[in-house]
Copies of this chain bind each other. A is one copy, B any other.
Amino acid sequence: MKTTRNTTAKSAILELIKNSEVALSHAEIQKMNQELCDRVTIYRILDRLVNEDVIHKIATPDGTIKYAACNHNPHEHHQHIHNHVHFSCEKCHSVTCLDAVKPSYTIPENYLVKEVNFTLSGLCPACVESISK
């Protein structure tokens, strides 16, 4: 089995993502990181963190890829379907994990469902505030 190593850049990027309220894109991480490592290295680190299941990948409604720390419930450790609910703000483009919202749905026949991606979009609380003034 391929081993994976902890490097300065990897730890720094993971901290950034963990400490962020919202999901971050490659471009955002790059800006927050300027001198730490190369653009290409960020791509490779993000891929590794996703494979290690430490962070997860989210596609926003406009196709931008963002990353957020996984919030695994220790009691459902071996659950097979990732059930991510996100909110994507169309004004400030922030993406937040909504752990409180639990969708229910009927599984379509003949399909094999492996992942569920549920994204609500509109205005986040901060943007609702700023508009109503």
Inter-chain contacts of A1 with B (CB < 8 A): none
A63 with B63: CB separation less than 8 A: yes
- Interface range for A: 35 or more
Inter-chain contacts of A106 with B (CB < 8 A): 100-102
Among B65, B85, B108, contact of A100 (Cβ-Cβ < 8 Å):
B108
Q: In the complex, A110→B87 CA distance in Å? A: 12
The quantity of this chain's copies bound in the complex is 2
For the complex formed, measure the closest distance between the CB of A81 and the CB atoms of chain B, giving whole angstroms. Answer: 9
A110 with B125: CB separation less than 8 A: yes
Task: Say which one of A11-19, A30-38, A111-119 lies at the interface with B.
Answer: A111-119
Q: Is A27 an interface residue (CB 8 A)?
A: no
Q: In the complex, A73→B112 CA distance in Å? A: 27
A108 with B117: CB separation less than 8 A: no
Q: Is A45 an interface residue (CB 8 A)?
A: no
Q: Is A51 an interface residue (CB 8 A)?
A: no
A121 with B113: CB separation less than 8 A: yes
For the complex formed, measure the closest distance between the CB of A112 and the CB atoms of chain B, giving whole angstroms. Answer: 4
Residues in A69-96 with C-beta less than 8 Å from chain B: 85, 87, 90
| Other 6 A-B pairs with CB < 8 A, given A111-B122, A113-B122, A114-B123 | A61-B115, A63-B64, A87-B108, A105-B118, A116-B119, A116-B121
